[in-house]
Amino acid sequence: MKHIFHSAETRGHANHGWLDAHHSFSFAGFQDRNRMHFGVLRVLNDDKIAGGMGFGSHPHDNMEIITIPLEGQLLHKDNMGNDGEVILPGDVQVMSAGTGVVHSEYNNGKTDLKLLQIWLFPNKQNVKPRYGQVSLNVADRQNKFQQILSPNENDEGVWIHQDAWFFLGKFDKDKTETYTVKKPGNGVYAFLISGSANINGQELKIRDAYGVWETDAFDIKINGDNTEILLMDIPMELPL
């Protein structure tokens, strides 16, 4: 097994007043040649957006973009005909940017919006742009991992053009889990949203991350109450 630990304090940070952003990988003004990606995971941004503020219309292409609201509500508009979609905690949103999409994202409320935005390199180039959104029962992730993303259109959660699976779990103290990697050759990047945990002997606190690869499974021990973990099971080889 190989592994890497990214403490919360080593992330890039940019505070623009209306936007307080932390970057797990090189993004915008944060550039670190040793933090370009983890497998096909290219971006993991932990954003806090002030009420009524947001990102104006901007383009993307050939990227799978996943948004997970943690607090507040996100208003999404794009040039695919989605005008005023609202994404709430418990929802997961995906865009397959493919040949190109233009969209905007705004905080639809008066209090801070907190969200994770994740970009994955796709396994297919120049696909037709696509938007997807699902509402999940958050009770189904209590003391277990709930699938929120997969490569399969008929599975639970959203689907993307990549052999990736995402899971969210919220656990009580002293619970234990053994996670089995979904596909040979995949690695897993674990991001601790809240609480504290131990993965294969590595202690993690809020917003720490731990990546493992060249293994079939690994153990997770929950050290703190209300511990929430995002697991991203992804190919380690970049697409050609």
**pLDDT tens digits in sequence order for the chain, 240 residues long:** 999 999 999 999 999 999 999 999 999 999 999 999 999 999 999 999 999 999 999 999 999 999 999 999 999 999 999 999 999 999 999 999 999 999 999 999 999 999 999 999 999 999 999 999 999 999 999 999 999 999 999 999 999 999 999 999 999 999 999 999 999 999 999 999 999 999 999 999 999 999 999 999 999 999 999 999 999 999 999 987
Instruction: Please tell me the distance from the alpha carbon of residue 27 to that of residue 35, in angstroms, as a whole number.
Output: 10
With respect to residue 240, please indicate whether it lies within any of the assigned structural domains. Answer: no
With 0.95 as the threshold, say if the pTM is over it. Answer: yes
Residue 52 has φ and ψ, to the nearest 5°, of 75, -5
With respect to residue 126, please indicate whether it lies within any of the assigned structural domains. Answer: yes
With respect to residue 13, please indicate whether it lies within any of the assigned structural domains. Answer: yes
* pLDDT recorded at residue 130: 97
The β-bridge partners of 213 are 2
Picking from 57, 28, 25, the residue whose alpha carbon sits closest to that of residue 39 is: 25
* pLDDT recorded at residue 240: 73
Residue 140 has φ and ψ, to the nearest 5°, of -75, 0
What is the CATH classification number for the domain harbouring 21? 2.60.120.10
180 is in which domain, residue-wise?
Answer: 2-235
Domain count, the chain: 1
Count of beta carbons in the 10 Å neighbourhood of residue 87? 23
Count of beta carbons in the 10 Å neighbourhood of residue 232? 25
Instruction: Please tell me the distance from the alpha carbon of residue 196 to that of residue 232, in angstroms, as a whole number.
Output: 18
